[in-house]
Structure formats: C-alpha cells, structure tokens
Amino acid sequence: MTTRTAFGDVAILVPAAGMGVRLGPGQPKALRELAGEALLVHAVRNLAAAPSTGLIVIAAPADDVDLVRDLLARFDVVVVAGGATRQESVACALAAVPLDFDLVLVHDAARCLAPPELVESVAAALRAGSQAVIPVLPVADTIKRVDDAETVVETVDRSVLRAVQTPQGFRRDVLAAAHASAAAQHTDDAGMVEAMGVRVTAVPGDDRALKITRPFDLAVAAAVLASVPAAPDTPPASADSPNPPSPANPPSPASSPSAPES
C-alpha cells in the first residue's frame, strides 16, 4: 500500500536490508532479537509513535520481504526489497514514497531505540525551513589521527566534531536529487546532500539512538530498554488525531549535548 492514509506529513524510510556481519553469524541484523522482538519491530514501534509520521517504508533484505511484512503486520507500513548497499536500499524505499510527501526522514533499523521525540525534533527543523537535518552528539573520546604504522600524527580538536545519528531529515526534492546525482557510496544520506553543496543543519541527538553494530551494542541496547519504557504499539497518527503536529504544537526537545568532558 503506498497511498497516504495517515495525518502525519513525514515519510520515514527505514534501511533494514543489511546483513549485520559485525554482529556475528545469524539472521540479517534487523531481524535479530532484542528483549524477544526483532530490532526492526522496536524501530517501527518507536517511529510509528511519533505524531509527524505519515508513512513508513521499510527496505528489507530481498529474501525476507514476505517475512518482514508478516513481522510488521500490526503496523501500517510499506515493505520493499532493499539493495546491495545502504544507499541503494534508501533509494529503493524513496521510490515507494507518494509524491505528496515533501518531508522525508531516513532512519537506520539498527538504531532501533531512537525515541519518537527525535523524529519530532528533526521534522520540526525541516518545517522551520532547513533543507537537511541531522541529529548529533558531542564526541566524548579524545580523537587522534594516526598514520599507516599506527603512529599518532596529531590530536584532533574534538570540540568541533560531532557523532552523527539518524533519523536524518530532508526536503524530499533534496534527497531525491542527491540520490540521482550520487557518484560514490556514502555512509549516510547527509553526506550525499553535503556533496551537492546543500546546507545541513545539526540538532541535538539522543543517546537512545545508538547504532547496534557489534554484540556489545546489543547488550547496551538491552540495558537501555530495561531502564526506559518502550513506546506503545501505535499506527501513524490518523487524520482525526487530537494532537496533530503543527508549529503551535511543538515536539518535546531531544536531550541537549553537554560540554565535552575529559
């Protein structure tokens, strides 16, 4: 189903077709379990709970499209086959978004605990006029540049560095142009947009939007989940929602990055 049935004005693309090689042997990462549910179920539950969400499109592993549809049957989502790279998977999902969505967010299934508030703050920055928006956190570790022999070349000034999360938000035409013109593979969508010379705005990220990459991250996510209640299972807000997103109904702010510590 690719018709627009919900009230929210934002389409969210969820690249979920990766194999999770760094997580070790097993199912594709989005299908691995955290507290008894697939990472993708956690991700979709959190996205669907955001009032701005009008459509969710999942780019699933090509061999698992039917399985993912069944897994997410209780949510109002569109599932398409992803591609060989993250960038291709995002392009596959973008192609399924009806043209009446002007605002598009891209969110890694691997960041399955990103809270609905983060969707709202990225969407709010887009509505306020930004072309492209990324959630960021200050870098906590000291960062050093090394050479091929692992000899330290310099200590980098971390005060100007940010760790980048998803959901990343874009005006749809900007994201579509970036994908149409991308000459290389980028690790995130904002990278493609930057390469086009479009200004990208940073907003405060959220620790809960951590990316599950290695087994240790799964353990961290389990601890986060145990300490923070999950969002309830909700479809995207319906047209008669009593609380639609609007400039007069701003989202709650995400946690602010604090001053770097040593």
- Total residues contacting ligand CTP by CB under 6 A comes to 22
For 204, the token pair is 């405060």
- The interface with ligand CTP within residues 69-108 (CB under 6 A) comprises 82-86, 89, 108
Cα–Cα distances in angstroms (integers) from residue 111 to residues 40, 88, 178, 206, 250, in the given order:
9, 19, 23, 11, 24
Nearest distance in Å: CB 47, ligand CTP: 13
Dihedral sign, CA of 55, 60, 66, 67? Answer: negative
- Does residue number 16 form part of the binding site for ligand CTP (CB under 6 A)? yes
Q: Which of 156, 204, 198 is nearest to 177 (CA)?
A: 198
ω into residue 229 within 30 of 0, thus cis? no
- Does residue number 18 form part of the binding site for ligand CTP (CB under 6 A)? yes
Residue 65 carries which side chain, given as an amino acid letter? V
Among 6, 9, 20, 137, binds ligand CTP (CB under 6 A): 20
Interface stretch with Mg ion, choices 8-16, 18-26, 31-39, 123-131 (CB under 5 A): 18-26
Cα–Cα distances in angstroms (integers) from residue 120 to residues 97, 115, 165, 206, in the given order:
19, 9, 14, 12
CA–CA separation, 107 and 47 (whole Å): 9
Among 91, 110, 113, 126, binds ligand CTP (CB under 6 A): 110
Partners of 106 in beta bridges: 13, 168
Using the minimum distance from each CB to ligand CTP, give the nearer residue, 187 or 246. 187
Nearest distance in Å: CB 166, Mg ion: 13
Q: Which of 137, 123, 165 is nearest to 251 (CA)?
A: 123
For 191, the token pair is 């990278």
Using the minimum distance from each CB to Mg ion, give the nearer residue, 163 or 231. 163
Among 8, 15, 169, 205, binds ligand CTP (CB under 6 A): 15
Neighbours of 190 (CB within 10 A): 25
- Residue 110's binding partner out of ligand CTP, Mg ion, none, with CB under 5 to 8 Å set by partner kind: ligand CTP
- Does residue number 19 form part of the binding site for ligand CTP (CB under 6 A)? yes
Interface stretch with Mg ion, choices 16-24, 97-105, 163-171, 189-197 (CB under 5 A): 16-24
**Residue ranges that bind ligand CTP, judged by CB under 6 A:** 15-22, 29-30, 59, 82-86, 89, 108-110, 211, 213
**Residue ranges that bind Mg ion, judged by CB under 5 A:** 18
